[in-house]
């Protein structure tokens, strides 16, 4: 399976005055899961930047909120690579309750571009990184559809 999951506990700092997770923090949770997803594949972002002069930047987000998370909840955040180009990737991410992953709290699509760190100009990802990402990409409909 190509879906990566990472568990995150909700702390006071993540909530508003009503002990409900502040909406922007779901993006932080997704960012943490993407970072751990890369680590799981052996990609260390600082080392990658030092060695290649490039880095990932978020270029687009779309998030839909379904229900709130609260103080002390344990969340399961997923990251799944859906599309890959030469200079960007698109991931589908979901935040759910860890004890009931069918209870979705938020879901989003995140597009991440590869840029030269010094100039922030878009550029192609290094071949080794593309190969690593390709091995972890979710199968497309054409690849999983058994019909001819």
Known catalytic residues are 16
The CA distance from 115 to 111, in Å, is 13
SS3 breakdown of the chain: % helix, strand, coil, rounded to 5? Answer: 25, 40, 30
């Amino acid at each position: 399976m190509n879906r990566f999951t990472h568990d995150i506990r909700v702390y006071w700092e993540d909530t508003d005055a009503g002990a409900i997770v502040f909406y922007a923090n779901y993006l932080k949770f997704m960012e943490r899961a993407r970072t751990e997803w890369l680590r799981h594949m052996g990609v260390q972002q600082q080392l990658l930047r030092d060695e290649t002069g490039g880095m990932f930047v978020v270029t687009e987000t779309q998030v839909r909120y379904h229900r709130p998370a609260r103080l002390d909840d344990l969340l399961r955040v997923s990251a799944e690579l859906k599309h890959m180009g030469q200079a960007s990737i698109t991931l589908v991410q979901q935040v759910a309750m860890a004890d009931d992953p069918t209870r979705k709290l938020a879901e989003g699509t995140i597009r991440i571009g590869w840029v030269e760190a010094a100039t922030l100009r878009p550029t192609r990802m290094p071949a080794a990184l593309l190969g690593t990402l390709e091995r972890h990409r979710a199968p497309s409909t054409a690849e999983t559809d058994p019909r001819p």
